Amino acid sequence: MRRVVVTGMGAVTPIGNDVYSMWKAAKNGLCGIGEITHYDHTDHKVSLAAEVKDFDPNRYLDRSEVRRLDDFCIYALTAACEAMEDSKIDMKKEDPLRCGVIFSSGIGGMTSIQREDMRGMQKGYDRVNPHFIPMVISNMAAGHIAMKFGFNGICSCVVTACAGSGNAIGDSFRQIKFGFNDIMICGGAEASITPLGIGGFTSMNALSTSRDPLRASIPFDKERNGFVMGEGAGALILEEYEHAINRGAKIYCEIKGYGVSCDAHHVTAPLEDGSMAAVCMEKAMEEADVTCEDIDYINAHGTSTQLNDRCETRAVKRALKESACDVMMSSTKSLTGHLLGASGAVEAILTSLMVEHDTVIATANYKVKDEECDLDIVPNKARNTKVDIALSNSFGFGGHNVSLLFGKVR
């Protein structure tokens, strides 16, 4: 079986529009949550979100491209361009049939759906943007990335809600591990901070109604009352180890394992006992040939909902057994909010950097201990400590569970 390494990364997030800025903000505990500015939230229950700020869509794209793309696609292409730039891959030296793309979005072009529906109601639906359909379908981020770089291998889009980009990374890992491709661009993008997007989650009581940005996304805190919607994209370049070594690539870390499972239980609620999420982590450890004692850190799904955080704590205890009390587990959603289909990719990037730099990002703005969430959640202050092996969890509506296992290259 071939080894798979991370050789490039790109990000557009509420705490930074490139990987360096995001990492610096995360280490410093900078929270990206604030008042919604994308629309007038007066008289809405939810007033906070984690928006992308000061974003320049023309950093990598020209104006004609931007006009034809939904925001989620713009974020995806920007992150992918940064990742390719970071990797220093020269496509003139690569076989494009051995280069593929798997890129996720949980919802797709929500911004365009909202805008064009309003235009249709006002002017008639025959007058909607002629690019409307390709702007909104979820697979178009993957398609545009493949076109941008001339990748002729697999081009696919995983749609598994908030587990989507975790699946995209894991499926890309397998594409390389089993010899189908040498290079993969993978990740996810989301842009759903619209009245319709926020309203849909508000009506199911999933979002925090806090008015305080520092007490809204508070994973594992007893006073948590829902997640905060985020937006953005994360893109990773995965590469076969020998291929990366032969071209002198910088290697961030190695992906060693990928676990998947399904709760097969409920449309939105996870299994109360955490059993299938535990299986997911166990599968990732088994593939990586590591034990419970080897895990230094877990980047939790940690959404800041009562049920998710409690069930994930139970899952970690089932999967790691006696070692659970020794593992560090933080939720970077305390800083970024919940980026839905992009969350797994952004968290995979942050986890890769934690492994590279031996630094654990804190769970920010934590105050009130919850007796049912009693693991070491690294509250409020980052730690400089050994991180040789780390898991990153992503769970999605529909019962989708993903665990990715990252490690230092040995």
Catalytic residues, by residue number, are 162, 301, 338
Beta bridge mates, 338: 229
Find out whether 52 and 376 touch, Cβ atoms under 8 Å: no
